Amino acid sequence: MSIKNESVHKAVLPALALRGLVVFPGQVIQFEVGRKKSALAIDEAISTSQTVFLIAQKDIREDDPARVNFMKTGVVATIRQVNKAPGDVIRVVAEGLYRAKITEMIKRDPYLKVEIARCALVETKGNVKTEGLVRSAKNAFDAYCERTQGVPHDIVLEIAATKKPGHLADFIAANVVQDYEAKQMILDELNSVKRLEKLHVLLEREIQMLDIEEEIQQKVQEQINQNQKEYFLREQIKTIMNELGEGDNPYEDAEEFRERMENLNLPIDVQEKLEKDCERFSRMPPGSHDAAVLRNYLDITLGLPWNKTTKDKINIPAARRQLDHDHFGMQKVKERILEMLAVRKLSPDIKGQIICLVGPPGVGKTSIARSIAKAIGRKYVRIALGGVKDESEIRGHRRTYIGAMPGRIISAIRQAKVKNPLMLLDEVDKLSNDFRGDPTSALLEVLDAEQNHTYQDHFIDVPFDLSEVLFLMTANNYGAIPSPLLDRMEIIELPSYTHEEKFAIAKKHLIPKQVKKHGMDAKTIRFRDDAVRFLIDGYTREAGVRNLERKLASLCRKTAVRVVSETEEKCSITIPQIEEMLGPVKYKPEDLSRKSEVGIANGLAWTSVGGEIMPIEVAILDGSGKIELTGSLGDVMKESAKAAVSYIRAHTEELNINHDFYLKKDIHIHVPEGAVPKDGPSAGITLATALISALSGRAVRGDLAMTGEITLRGKVLPIGGLKEKTMAAYRNGMQTVVVPKGNQSDLSELDETVRNRLCFVIADTLDDVLSVALEDSGEEKTAPVEKKVLRAPKGEPVKPAIADTVN
């Protein structure tokens, strides 16, 4: 190896900072100069030695040459020609002479001037390895030329004649390599053999890149040719169809479906199936029945929001304000909903939270679902399930049937236009079944978090993800919901409204709503508080507030007539005006007797619209021991009556009743409103009390109501629906309610107003009931027992026979 030391002198030269351009020794290059400092450097070079130092700058984005960082190595070049170009641009032709490095920056303004030192090159004497490297590099260059076919012929000849490795590397790099950083790497290498080795690696990489580009280009060209062929054929078919007078073109529709499919980013299995259907559709003759069916199927399926969602905006304080604004009371329900939202904010991917709101009509089940959707920013859709008998209503019909369509779940998703709406399944307890299937069973997959991510509608026939849908359900009676479906829900009960709650709802919500709806304002019509209370008590008797809203709407309509007729400019709704507009009072306080009478006991019944007072009447007649039951009683109530008679026969002495009454007397038990079917065990103690009263002649308190099942041994068993039953007792002016001991823990769940207004007597046996319900025979039968007698502190017995009394 020999070293050729050419750095025998230093020189001070003007310098040009090149952007994205690297010059090699021996290379003649043309470039344009636009920066002012670079133009001054060219002028300095022309006026002195005709030489300039060319070096690339590291950051090509920097516009000021005075602040740039330079590469390691540059080239001293001689200027051959300078021409002026339009736009204050100078076109320069220069030839590289030798490599050099900057040793000192002389000045930066008004142009760059540096001291440079010539680089010492390392040249290697020729040997077999060097010759092999040169030949390999030339072969790689030939391979590159075959792939590009754009290298000038004189360059090819020059490279073929070059034998020195250093000169060969410089010449090929200057004419072949595109990346300026790769060129700089070649320029920085002073060892000629290593320089050629690096160039050889760059050439091989460039050849591989050219091969890849050619392969890609070939595939693209093939695809273009195929598309052009298909386009040409479709245009031919289109022309033929137009000549035949056939309007619809399934090929154009199929292309439209394919474009929609590409924009949806569908799951792979769904994509493959729909692509096959599109292909089959494109081959069908236009106007055929199958083509119409398939077009409808593809249109509906591709119209689903496969990947479109809304982002939840869960803000607990804002959600609380929204719920309080839309609904009065219902604190337990609101707290449970806020808990659900808080958990969803902390864990957005949580599954399986399906809430069923159960309560009588008109208490706000449907509207609270709408409030939840508004609070979290989700789309709201409602599915009415009342009266649905066909399973296909839920799952859809097979598309082979005439008039086939998707089920209600998928239709609701299409309506919402997002895949994560809040979906309300309304009146789920009203579902029924017949020979067409059980729609309740079809809901099992919809509401199961482990299955509904692959829900498959019969019409769509591909899996659709329902796991992001927030399901809410409503029902009047959760006992009518099948157990497998009930097991997938969390029940939240909405109780009946108290008088005070109805008054607050009317003042805050219903009256402003109806006044605005009927085109009036607070100056035109004003409702007095005593009139609103009179309207609630005298014209409505319901668990919710729907009928109350209807009555308010009626008052607004009648007031509107007076205002439009110009008989009154302003109207204040008072009690006399309510009676004038709505007619006589429908529900009077004396509808239910508060007198203590013999043979009549007030029971409490649960219905789907709330609780009701159920008076039971017993008449003792001379006869032969027959028992007559009237009032549309079910089997369970009839059995309760027989059990009560058997208990009385076993305890005639303690009850002071003739022991042979069942031989000489007929017993007639009647429950009023005979057209309404009645059943259930909770009237057991009421039946027994009325029978004992009639047989013994002792009156039953008229301000007392009771509920509980009775056994043959006089044990009082717990019942259900206590909340609705006690609400009915409160609405009907009862003062005392007898409840089974087994329901004592349920008293804490009652409304606070009900707990404060009623006195609850806990009964373990029928003796406990009788000691409170029956008056002594010496008392006047028409005098009610004062309520304060039962106002004992919690846990303190009122009478020795009573186990406990809870206020």
Residues known to be catalytic: 682, 725
Report the candidate in 55, 49, 27, 52 with the shortest Cα–Cα distance to residue 41. 52
Beta bridge partners of 123: 2
Residue partners of 577: CB distance under 8 A and separation at least 6: 531, 571
Report the candidate in 761, 677, 685 with the shortest Cα–Cα distance to residue 726. 761
Report the candidate in 479, 468, 476 with the shortest Cα–Cα distance to residue 366. 476
| Residue 472 host element (H or E) | strand 470-475
User: What does DSSP assign to residue 150?
Assistant: -
Report the candidate in 24, 25, 10, 5 with the shortest Cα–Cα distance to residue 120. 5
Reduced to 3 states (helix: H, G, I; strand: E, B; else coil), residue 167 is helix
Q: How far apart are CA 734 and CA 315, in angstroms?
A: 43
Mutual orientation of helices 250-264 and 192-244 as an angle, nearest 10°? 140
Reduced to 3 states (helix: H, G, I; strand: E, B; else coil), residue 463 is strand
Q: Residue 339 to residues 336, 353, 495: CA-CA distances in angstroms?
A: 5, 11, 20
Q: How far apart are CA 607 and CA 678, in angstroms?
A: 10
User: What count of other Cβ atoms lies within 10 Å of the Cβ of residue 247?
Assistant: 8
Structure-token match 């019969």, residue found: 458
Q: How far apart are CA 625 and CA 648, in angstroms?
A: 14
Using alpha carbons only, what angle is made at residue 587 by residues 582 and 588, rounded to the nearest 5 degrees?
115
Q: How far apart are CA 700 and CA 779, in angstroms?
A: 11
Using alpha carbons only, what angle is made at residue 287 by residues 284 and 293, rounded to the nearest 5 degrees?
70
Reduced to 3 states (helix: H, G, I; strand: E, B; else coil), residue 139 is helix
Dihedral sign for Cα 624, 625, 630, 632, please. Answer: negative
User: What count of other Cβ atoms lies within 10 Å of the Cβ of residue 124?
Assistant: 19
Number of helices (H), then strands (E), belonging to the chain: the values are: 28, 27
Dihedral sign for Cα 539, 543, 549, 550, please. Answer: negative
What is the full DSSP assignment across 693-740? HHHH-PPBPTTEEE--EE-TT-BEEP-S-HHHHHHHHHHTT--EEEEE
Report the candidate in 45, 43, 66, 69 with the shortest Cα–Cα distance to residue 56. 69
What is the full DSSP assignment across 322-351? HHHHH-SS-HHHHHHHHHHHHHHHH-TT--
HEC secondary structure over 304-324? CCCCCCCCCCCCHHHHHHHHH
Start-end of H helices in 245-315: 250-264, 268-283, 289-302
Residue partners of 602: CB distance under 8 A and separation at least 6: 592, 613, 614, 615, 616, 686, 700, 702, 704, 705, 706, 734
> Hey, what are 250's tokens?
């399934």
Q: 805 and 798 in contact (C-beta within 8 Å)?
A: yes
Q: 106 and 12 in contact (C-beta within 8 Å)?
A: yes
